[in-house]
Chain A
Amino acid sequence: DADVTQTPRNRITKTGKRIMLECSQTKGHDRMYWYRQDPGLGLQLIYYSFDVKDINKGEISDGYSVSRQAQAKFSLSLESAIPNQTALYFCATSDSNTGELFFGEGSRLTVL
């Protein structure tokens, strides 16, 4: 089983719908992240959390919200999806000692 699991892996939705992407991890890391990947733009940080009570905005947080339900779970929500939120979304955890990021396999979201 993967250490960082994202669901769903693929989702097609319509403009205005609410969408939740879920992430769970078995690595025991306190730090969790949501990134967005667009072709040619690399990985952009949406939100990050250093523990259950800590939530921080990244560079592109507008239009997104997150919830850290437990140490192992970090979900990303789009309250009212729009087409330019069509992208590949990655959840990641990090080892606070080394800084290494461990990524899930991604959730591909298409907003029509």
Chain B
Amino acid sequence: GENVEQHPSTLSVQEGDSAVIKCTYSDSASNYFPWYKQELGKGPQLIIDIRSNVGEKKDQRIAVTLNKTAKHFSLHITETQPEDSAVYFCACGGGADGLTFGKGTHLIIQP
């Protein structure tokens, strides 16, 4: 089955700086790569996703890049703000049995 590695497990950045979270995956058949944000006491929510026919996608301060050859994809958050503090999960899939998630990154925005 699919195996997803996510790094780092914890990331602390100064408010206003950029944050980057990286994931690698094993199954070359995967074609859908979403990122979820989980705030304390809540369920994860989709923040951005990318499909295998695209190399980069941007939505305001967040962007995702995908390198299918190397089987890795990354989440980029620019101009970080306190409300960006959360746990972020990468995931991949596209087959019949849903998504496989990374272990999560706890992003801490220092004031």
A-to-B contact residues, CB < 8 Å: 4, 31, 33, 40-45, 48, 50, 56, 58-59, 90, 92, 94, 99-101, 103-106
Q: How many A-B residue pairs have CB under 8 A?
A: 56
Contacting chain A: which of B13-21, B43-51, B73-81? B43-51
Interface contact B43-A106, CB-CB below 8 Å: yes
B-to-A contact residues, CB < 8 Å: 1, 6, 9, 32, 34, 36, 41-46, 49, 89, 93-94, 96-104
A99 and B101 alpha carbons, distance in the complex (Å): 14
A48 and B93 alpha carbons, distance in the complex (Å): 14
Tell me whether A105 and B41 are in contact in the complex, defined as CB-CB below 8 angstroms, given that A42-B103, A59-B1, A99-B34 are known contacts: yes
Chain B residue at minimal CB-CB distance from A9: B41
A90 and B41 alpha carbons, distance in the complex (Å): 12
Q: Which of B42, B98, B99 has the most CB of A within 10 A?
A: B98
A59 and B1 alpha carbons, distance in the complex (Å): 9
Residues of the A chain whose Cβ atoms lie less than 8 Å from the Cβ of B101: 42-44
Residues of the B chain whose Cβ atoms lie less than 8 Å from the Cβ of A4: 43
A42 and B96 alpha carbons, distance in the complex (Å): 20
Interface contact A99-B32, CB-CB below 8 Å: yes
A25 and B71 alpha carbons, distance in the complex (Å): 34
Interface contact B42-A45, CB-CB below 8 Å: no
Interface contact B104-A42, CB-CB below 8 Å: yes
* Whole-angstrom distance between the Cβ of B3 and the nearest chain A Cβ: 11
Interface contact A40-B44, CB-CB below 8 Å: no
A101 and B97 alpha carbons, distance in the complex (Å): 13
Chain A residue at minimal CB-CB distance from B51: A99
Interface contact B41-A99, CB-CB below 8 Å: no
A50 and B95 alpha carbons, distance in the complex (Å): 13
Indicate which residue in B1, B42, B49, B97 contacts A48 across the interface (CB closer than 8 Å). Answer: B97
